[in-house]
Amino acid sequence: MRKKVRVGIIGCGAIAQHLHGPDYACSPDAELVACCDVVKKKAQLLAGRLAPDALIFSDYKEMLKKAGVEAVSVCLPNYLHAPVTITALKAGCHVLVEKPMATSMAEARKMLDAAKKADRVLMVNQSQRLFPAHVKAKEVMDSGIMGKVLHITAMFGHSGPEDWSPTGKWFFNKKEARFGAMADLGVHKADLLRFLTGKEVSEVNGFFERLEKPRATVEDNFVSALKFTDGTVGTLAASWTVKGAEANYTVLHCANGTLQICLFPDRPLVANLIKPCCQIVFELPPPPTNAAGGWGLDAGGAFCRAIKGEEKPYCTGYEGMKSLEVILAAEKAALTGRTVKIKH
């Protein structure tokens, strides 16, 4: 019989309902044994839908002591990511923490130190690495067919977290979220650019503004200019005011042509080459789903297989920290009106 990792979820809001919970429920590598939320009803509803025998808690420390969990997903407001992750690591649990992994570089480093001392897996759910179009785009870029990357454009925008996480009021509160669209969406693209190109950002400039979320204390729009260590330049934008059609695309302009990723809904991955002069529309599998009604990215399964040593983590704690560093630099640039350099 295949060994299953005993998993608990800390925080049973929208991301646990759409991704972590369904992934664990459908994975042959995971057993969802505990659900925890300060609003106990949320934990009960998640368990009732996905794992009726799971234990229910409103205190995560009690869960860590009594549920016999080997691993946890931390799906809490941003300001709690670091302290809860560190506590779980010290309790001997492997951790899959939501992005952004922390609210500062100091917190992120403490998380990495705690994972090393505990000899446990720390992964960050930079889930865009798992999208089928992005997995294939990584293969294309690694093949060398596109040539050197010269310019990058990336954008992630939708109408705001209130439309997919109605109870997630914390997104708009700076004390709990620390950032707005910059961390909610921008960190996804900061990480994806690093993942697809293998490049590191060396300089950042940025602007942000609150244009349409009057009760928020964080920005709802953010744009940054990036320079990479090899001289490649580009832009990264995030917005909570995109209406009618979600913007979630990346365009890599390269020496041999342009790779358009999720720019066209009916053609998620298109390469326009100059030598030979042609257009390649890559075939991709159908949009992922799973039997539990989740997004079907198998992040939870991948986490458990990494724990068992069967595959490498799709985003290590270190990788998550490097992507966090980009948005922190962008925020500093926007606040100071100056270019911020990142040391490597």
Residue 202 within any structural domain of the chain:
yes
**Contacting residues for 42 by C-beta, under 8 A, at least 6 apart:** 12, 13, 167
Query: Above 90 in pLDDT, residue 40?
Result: yes
**Same domain (yes/no): 304, 329:** no
CB contact set of 29 (below 8 Å; sequence gap of 6+) = 2, 3, 4, 5, 301, 304, 305, 308, 310
Q: Are residues 101 and 12 in the same domain?
A: yes
Query: CATH number of the domain that 240 lies in?
Result: 3.30.360.10
Give the per-residue pLDDT at 41: 97
Please report, rounded to a whole number, the percentage of residues in the chain having pLDDT higher than 70. Answer: 100
Residue 290 located in a structural domain = no
The answer to whether the CB of 308 falls within 8 A of the CB of 3 is yes
Q: Rounded to an integer, what distance in angstroms lies between the CA atom of residue 116 and that of residue 123?
A: 12
The answer to whether the Cα torsion of 123, 125, 130, 341 is positive or negative is negative
pLDDT band at 1 (very low <50, low <70, confident <90, very high): low
Check residue 103 and report its DSSP letter. Answer: S
- 76-94 pLDDT, tens digit each: 999 999 999 999 999 999 9
Kindly state whether residue 181 falls inside one of the protein's structural domains: yes
| CATH code for the domain in which residue 71 is found | 3.40.50.720
- Give me the domain span that covers residue 333: 129-285+321-341
Model pLDDT, residue 52: 97
In sequence order, which residues have a C-beta less than 8 Å from that of residue 261 and are 6 or more positions away? 133, 134, 137, 196, 249, 250, 251, 252, 268, 269
Same domain, 149 and 245: yes
- Per the structure, the count of domains in the chain is 2
10 lies in some domain = yes
Q: How confident is the model at residue 288 (pLDDT cuts 50, 70, 90)?
A: confident
Cα angle for residues 151, 218, 111 (degrees, 5° grid): 75
| Statement to judge: residues 268 and 149 lie in one domain | yes
The average pLDDT across 250-273 equals: 97
Degrees, nearest 5: CA angle 99-180-74 = 25
| Torsion over CA: 207, 211, 217, 218 (sign) | negative
User: What does the alpha-carbon distance between residue 118 and residue 120 come to, in Å, rounded to a whole number?
Assistant: 5
Q: In whole angstroms, give the CA distance from residue 244 to residue 138.
A: 29
Pairwise pLDDT comparison (149 vs 286), residue with the higher score? 149
| pLDDT exceeds cutoff 80 at 2 | no
The pLDDT of residue 25: 97
Residue 330 lies in a domain: yes
Check whether residue 161 and residue 89 sit in a common domain. no
Model confidence pLDDT, tens digit, residues 222-252? 999 999 999 999 999 999 999 999 999 999 9
Q: Are residues 330 and 308 in the same domain?
A: no
pLDDT at 214 over 90: no
Which residue in the block uniquely carries the two structure tokens 């390649």?
A: 280
pLDDT recorded at residue 293: 84
At residue 21 the predicted structure's pLDDT band, cuts being 50, 70 and 90, is: very high
Shared domain check, 108 and 166? no
Query: Do 159 and 25 share a structural domain?
Result: no
pLDDT value at residue 291: 82
pTM over 0.75: yes
